[in-house]
Amino acid sequence: MTSGHETHRAALGPRPLQTRALTREAGQARQLLAAGEWRPAAADSEAAVAVLDRLAAPLPARRAATARTLATDRDRRLQRLLRTTLHHLDAGTVSPPAAALLAAVARAFLPWHATPNPPGAAAAPRYETPAGPAGGLAVPPTEAGEVLLPDLIALFAVLASPSLPGTVPLTPPVEPWQVRYAGRFRRYGRPAFGVWTAETVACPACGGKAGPWTVTCDWRLISLGCPCGVVTHEHGLAFSEVWLLLPDM
C-alpha cells in the first residue's frame, strides 16, 4: 500500500483520539489521590473546578434543535473543555502531576482545537488540524471524545473537592520525560483579544530552528537541546506549544 493511499484514507474519516498519555496519567492520578499520596494544593483544585465545569456542562436546550445544531453543541462543549484545559496548563500555576494530567487531557481533545470554530486570527496556534476531503476539516470523533467524559468527571471531581481542614497539600514526584523532536517550535503571543503573534524559536547559539531538538520536561520547566550542543530554557514556550506537537507517548 502506498503512503499516498494511506494519506487519502486518513483524510476521509475521523482521526483516532490520542489517549495513551491520558490513560496513563488518569490512572496514576486516581491511584495517588485514593492513596492520599496526592493532596491537591489550592491551584490544582481551582484548575480542576474549571475543567470539571466544562466536562460536566449540559448541552443547551434548544426549542428547535436539528441534527446540525446538536452536532455543533456537542463539539462546542468539547472545544471549551480543550480551551479551558490549555488555559490552566499554560498558566503555569498547577503542580507537575496536575500539569501532566491537563496535558494528557489536552492531547486527547486536540481534534476540537479548531472545531466547531477555528481560532480567530491567521497567526493563531495550529496543531496540524487534519484536512478532510475537499480541503475541509476532518470530522471530529465526537462520540469517542464524549465517551471519555464520565471517567474524567469522576477524577476531576476528586481533584476539585476541597481538602479537609488541617490537611497539608502533598505533591507526588513526577517522572521527567525526554523526547526528540525534528521540527520547529512556535511561540504564540496574544497582545489583544483576537490578535495573535507567532515566532519560531531559534537556538541562542547557532540560530538553528529545525532541530532535531532534545526536549526535556519535568512539568515545571522545559529545556530544548539543539544539535549544536547548547541547551536552553530561555525559549519562552508554554507547555502546550511543545507538548501538542509531540506524538502520544
Please tell me whether residue 210 binds Zn ion under the rule CB under 5 A: no
Note the residue count of the chain.
Answer: 249
Please tell me whether residue 228 binds Zn ion under the rule CB under 5 A: yes
**Closer CB to Zn ion, residue 65 or residue 206?**
206
**Closer CB to Zn ion, residue 41 or residue 202?**
202
**Binding letters toward Zn ion, positions 189-208, x by CB under 5 A:** --------------x-xx-x
Please tell me whether residue 154 binds Zn ion under the rule CB under 5 A: no
What's the min distance (Å) between Cβ of 117 and Zn ion?
38
What's the min distance (Å) between Cβ of 146 and Zn ion?
44
Q: Which stretch binds Zn ion (CB under 5 A): 41-49, 84-92, 149-157, 226-234?
A: 226-234
- Looking at residue 27, its amino acid is G
Round to the nearest angstrom and report the end-to-end CA distance of the chain: 26
**Closer CB to Zn ion, residue 131 or residue 210?**
210
**Closer CB to Zn ion, residue 143 or residue 234?**
234
DSSP string, 200-234: E---TTT---S--EEEEE-SS-EEEE-TTS-EEST
Strand order in the sheet with 222-225: 177-181, 213-217, 222-225, 231-232
**Closer CB to Zn ion, residue 93 or residue 232?**
232
Q: Return d(Cα 6, Cα 118) in angstroms, integer.
A: 26
What's the min distance (Å) between Cβ of 235 and Zn ion?
12
Alpha helix positions (H), 66-169: 67-91, 96-108, 142-147, 149-160
Q: Which run of H or of E encompasses 24?
A: helix 20-34
**Contact positions toward Zn ion, by CB under 5 A?**
203, 205-206, 208, 226, 228, 230
